[in-house]
C-alpha cells in the first residue's frame, strides 16, 4: 500500500498494491493494521455506504457537526472528483481544499478524517462510490457547505453540462456562515 499525504497533511491518498494479469486483478481494499499504521492511530469503522450517481451529480459538501465522521472513500465503477475541505477553525489549513480523482481504474482511496467537509462530482456516465465511516449517520447533525462558496473557491471540472444537486446541496451555507469544528 502506498500512502501519500496531500497539501492538507491529515488527508491521505491511499493506493493499494494491485496484482493483475489476463484474468483480471486482485487487491486488498482494506487492512485494519496497515490502515492504522498509515494514519498513525487506531481508527474504528462502524458503517459502510454505497451510492450510485450519474454524470454531473455533485454531492456535498457534507459533514456532521455532532457525531463527526471520518471517511475512507473509493470508487468501484466510474470516476469522480473527490473534494475535501478543512473546517477545523484552529487548523492552519482552515478553509483550504484538496481533491483527488478516484476511479475504478486507479483504485485510489481518500482518507477524510473528522473535521472535514466532503463532496464529489461524478465524471463518468455512472459511478459507484463506497465509503466506510467512523460514526453512524445522524440526519439531525448533518450540515452542508455550498459547493460553490467563493471563499473556498474549489475548481470543479467543466463537464459541459449543469451539475445535478439535491435540494439540500443547493441550499448549502457559505463557510463564513456554517457551523464548523473548533
Q: Is 63 a catalytic residue?
A: no
CATH number for the domain that contains residue 72: 2.60.120.10
- Marked catalytic residue, from 62, 63, 107, 118: 62
Given a contact cutoff of 8 angstroms between Cβ atoms, the answer to whether 163 and 61 are in contact is no
pLDDT 10s digits, 136-161? 999 999 999 999 999 999 999 999 88
Backbone angles phi, psi at 45, to 5 degrees: -100, 140
> 139 lies in which domain range?
44-177
d(CA 117, CA 119): 7
Q: Is residue 150 part of a domain?
A: yes
Mean pLDDT of 14-33: 92
pTM for the model: 0.94
pLDDT 10s digits, 169-178? 999 999 999 9
Residues 6+ apart with CB under 8 A from 112: 11, 70, 71, 72, 73, 84, 118
Number of domains in the chain: 1
Q: Is 50 a catalytic residue?
A: no
Given a contact cutoff of 8 angstroms between Cβ atoms, the answer to whether 86 and 97 are in contact is yes
Q: Is residue 39 part of a domain?
A: no
Grid cell 484538496 is found at 98
d(CA 103, CA 60): 18
The answer to whether the bond into 60 is cis (omega within 30° of 0) is no
Mean pLDDT of 57-74: 97
Of the pLDDT bands very low, low, confident and very high (cuts 50, 70, 90), residue 118 is very high
Q: Is residue 130 part of a domain?
A: yes
Q: Is residue 27 part of a domain?
A: no
Q: Is residue 7 part of a domain?
A: no
- Marked catalytic residue, from 63, 107, 118, 131: 131
pLDDT tops 90 at residue 116: yes
Of the pLDDT bands very low, low, confident and very high (cuts 50, 70, 90), residue 101 is very high
Amino acid at each position: 500500500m502506498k500512502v501519500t499525504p496531500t497539501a492538507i497533511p491529515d488527508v491521505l491518498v491511499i493506493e493499494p498494491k494491485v496484482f493483475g494479469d489476463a484474468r483480471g486483478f486482485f487487491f486488498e481494499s482494506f487492512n485494519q493494521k496497515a490502515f492504522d499504521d498509515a494514519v498513525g492511530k487506531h481508527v474504528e469503522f462502524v458503517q459502510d455506504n454505497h451510492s450510485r450517481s450519474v454524470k454531473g451529480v455533485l454531492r456535498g459538501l457534507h459533514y456532521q457537526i455532532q457525531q463527526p465522521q471520518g471517511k475512507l472513500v473509493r470508487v468501484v465503477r466510474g470516476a469522480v472528483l473527490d473534494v475535501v475541505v478543512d473546517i477545523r477553525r484552529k487548523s492552519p489549513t482552515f478553509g483550504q481544499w484538496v481533491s483527488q480523482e478516484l476511479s475504478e481504474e486507479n483504485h485510489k482511496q481518500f482518507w477524510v478524517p473528522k473535521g472535514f467537509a466532503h463532496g464529489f462530482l461524478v465524471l463518468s456516465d455512472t459511478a459507484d462510490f463506497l465509503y466506510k465511516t467512523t460514526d453512524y449517520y445522524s440526519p439531525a447533525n448533518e450540515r452542508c457547505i455550498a459547493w460553490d462558496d467563493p471563499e473556498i473557491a474549489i475548481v470543479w471540472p467543466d463537464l459541459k453540462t449543469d451539475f445535478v444537486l439535491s435540494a439540500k446541496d443547493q441550499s448549502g451555507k457559505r463557510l463564513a456562515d456554517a457551523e464548523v469544528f473548533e
